[in-house]
């Protein structure tokens, strides 16, 4: 600090100093760490400084009320939404779920009229599913899908992220043998596939739906789903295998033999 430097460089040095106190012993050097990051933010406000301040507060095991106030204070600054969402993830990492979720609701309100709101809503759904609040998560998903078709279309990136969240939820439900719930998650994913666009992932989605329907003994619907999968991925051995399982369920000996032959032939070709 003895040298003449610009505000940006002084702020950077102060952030590094605050980081040293944090990694050394945050509880012992709490005041020094907070003072250093306060001075850094006064010299030159930077997203890294706001994020580091929150990290120091969390490491000091301060009450939720202090963390909440610091989080709310961040919204006074005009930062991109990714900074705030990263802070939410940081808060959740330290198991301050209530604080993190309340901050996320503030972010949703703050960015409500901007295209970036979809990022906050997707994180909201992800956190709700992680916390086991599946009914509320499903309501948020339904609201998002309704908005997508009624004037608030999701970007391609947001759609891909939503598909990933839905498939993850479906997979976990399937592992828990909650086949009806898994099917619901897959149906949400199906509902946001563009009518003029389908690919191998679409085929996989239909196979997954067929597997759920088989466990629910809805044979006719399972057949429709696997037929749709076959249209977009006709050479998949997995598609033939589901056909085989349907035939077994229906005690169709002739079809079982035919599918077994097709599957064996396909394997030899591969």
Please give the Cα distance from 152 to 115 (Å, whole number): 9
What is the reported pTM?
0.82
Question: Would you list the DSSP string of 208-265?
Answer: HHHHHHHHTT-HHHHHHHHHHHHHH-TT-HHHHHHHHHHHHHTT-HHHHHHHHHHHHH
pLDDT 10s digits, 223-260: 999 999 888 888 888 888 888 888 887 776 555 555 55
What's the pLDDT at 124?
Answer: 94
Side-chain-facing half-sphere of 120: CA atoms under 13 Å = 24
pLDDT over threshold 50, residue 193: yes
Longest C-alpha distance within the chain, in Å?
A: 89
Work out the percent of the chain whose per-residue pLDDT is above 70. 89
pLDDT digits (tens, 9 = 90+) for 4-58: 578 889 999 999 999 999 999 888 888 999 999 999 999 989 999 999 999 999 9
CA–CA separation, 173 vs 154, rounded Å? 25
CA-based nearest residue to 124, from 146, 141, 111, 148: 141
The CA–CA distances, whole Å, from 66 to 23, 60, 99, 154, 174 equal 21, 11, 10, 35, 40
Which token pair is 204?
A: 């996989």
Residue ranges of domains in the chain: 201-270
The encoded tokens of residue 3 equal 């040298």
């Amino acid at each position: 600090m003895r040298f003449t430097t610009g505000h940006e460089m002084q702020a950077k040095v102060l952030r590094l100093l605050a980081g040293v106190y944090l990694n050394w012993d945050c509880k012992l050097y709490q005041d020094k760490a907070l003072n250093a990051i306060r001075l850094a933010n006064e010299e030159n406000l930077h997203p890294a400084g706001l994020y580091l301040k929150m990290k120091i507060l969390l490491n000091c095991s301060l009450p939720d009320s202090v963390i909440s106030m610091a989080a709310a204070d961040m919204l006074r600054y005009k930062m991109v939404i990714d900074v705030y969402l990263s802070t939410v993830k940081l808060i959740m990492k330290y198991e301050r779920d209530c604080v993190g979720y309340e901050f996320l609701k503030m972010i949703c309100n703050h960015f409500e009229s901007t295209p970036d709101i979809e990022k906050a809503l997707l994180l909201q759904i992800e956190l709700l599913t992680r916390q086991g609040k599946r009914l509320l998560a499903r309501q948020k998903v339904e609201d998002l899908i309704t908005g997508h078709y009624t004037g608030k279309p999701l970007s391609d990136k947001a759609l891909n992220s939503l598909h990933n969240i839905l498939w993850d939820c479906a997979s976990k439900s399937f592992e828990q043998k909650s086949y009806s719930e898994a099917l619901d998650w897959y149906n949400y994913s199906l509902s946001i596939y563009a009518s003029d666009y389908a690919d191998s992932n679409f085929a996989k989605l239909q196979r997954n739906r067929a597997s759920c329907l088989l466990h629910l003994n809805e044979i006719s619907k399972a057949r429709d789903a696997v037929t749709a999968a076959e249209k977009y991925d006709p050479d998949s051995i997995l598609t033939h295998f589901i056909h085989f399982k349907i035939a077994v369920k229906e005690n169709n000996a002739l079809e079982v033999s035919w599918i077994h032959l097709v599957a064996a032939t396909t394997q030899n070709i591969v």
